[in-house]
Amino acid sequence: MGKIVLKKVNKSFGDTAVIPGIDLTIENGEFVVFVGPSGCGKSTLLRLIAGLEDTTSGVIEIDGKDVTGEAPAKRQLAMVFQSYALYPHMSVRKNIAFPLKMAKMPQAEIDRKVEDAARILNLTNYLERRPGQLSGGQRQRVAIGRAIVRQPSAFLFDEPLSNLDAALRGSMRIEISELHQQLKTTMIYVTHDQVEAMTMADKIVVLNAGNIEQVGSPLELYRSPRNLFVAGFIGSPKMNFVTGPYAQARNAATVGVRPEHMTMSTSEGEWRGTVTVAEHLGADTFLHINVDGIGLVTARASGEFAVNHGDTVFITPDPNRIHRFDANGNALA
């Protein structure tokens, strides 16, 4: 089991509240991603759950038990950090087995658990190697293996892919998602990368300045952002925001339009603009357009939409995909 409940959890340093008071329920078996900009409190919140930081006030429950004052070792959680924290002089086998040896588990059981973890993570052929002989992705898998053998109630990942290159991050995202499907164990994953959040999560928790802005599935947050912050954070490239007469005509202080929710043309459309930058990426072309009376807009077009810097283009936002926000930045129905 791995149900985690936070009740009015607060973390303050002196007079500064880093986590001003959070209520959150993470169901058993969920893959939950904490996402937000640097300094939003996501890693601090993870460390509070792990017991690596003391709460100032509030309650943390794991499977119905109050663990707020419990030491990390008693919470039945396993944490995987951004740094692999492997012992360089030990083999992969010994690194994975280390927490079980510290627990004085019988050697036969240790061997079985290590072999099982290595099979799940495709590390069987690397068990006798040392970390220095492995790639970054393989070292991260060893760190995950060391967590798996403990059979925790939940896994806590603190930006585990930040040290990897783009290609490895992509493959490791898939591997961690597949691992979750195999183990069916609760996973909490911290990242500042909203692409990781969208591709991996069952449920996303968007944090800003220690507050939860919105909780929901990736599609819920994409389709129905609660406010300007969530609308601008979820989605890549980010949503365009338009103020002034265009928004006022739609009874809003701000109107949001995603780059992919516009029709592009070289002959006619609702908005007329000049291309300032064209990013041709193959399947897609991202256009940065200076639109008359609107300002700079980002649009997503087909990869074969052949326009370049200085060309005139016409844009028509999809009227059914426009988001409206009031003067306080909250979404309007």
pLDDT digits (tens, 9 = 90+) for 264-289: 999 999 999 999 999 999 999 999 99
| Predicted local confidence at residue 166, as pLDDT | 83
Shortest CA distance to 133 belongs to which of 123, 118, 144, 145?
Answer: 123
User: What is the percent of the chain with per-residue pLDDT over 90, rounded to a whole number?
Assistant: 84
pLDDT surpasses 80 at 222: yes
For the chain, what is the domain count? 2
Bridging pattern class, strands 203-208 and 31-35:
parallel
> Do residues 210 and 247 both lie within one domain?
no
Rounded to a whole number of angstroms, the distance between the first and last alpha carbons of the chain is 38
> Do residues 38 and 165 both lie within one domain?
yes
Angle between helices 107-120 and 92-102 (to 10 degrees): 130
| Predicted local confidence at residue 221, as pLDDT | 97
List the domain range (segments joined by +) for residue 292. 240-325
What separation in angstroms does the CA of 115 have from each of 29, 122, 153?
24, 10, 20
| Backbone φ and ψ of 285, nearest 5° | -125, 125
Q: Assign 178 a pLDDT band (cuts: 50, 70, 90).
A: very high
332 inside domain:
no
pLDDT surpasses 80 at 1: no
Domain boundary, last residue among 178, 197, 231: 231
pLDDT surpasses 90 at 244: yes
Give, in degrees to the nearest 5, the angle at Cα 40 between 23 and 49.
45
Alpha-carbon span 267 to 132, nearest angstrom: 58
183 inside domain:
yes
Q: What is the pTM of this model?
A: 0.90
> Do residues 98 and 184 both lie within one domain?
yes
> Do residues 224 and 310 both lie within one domain?
no
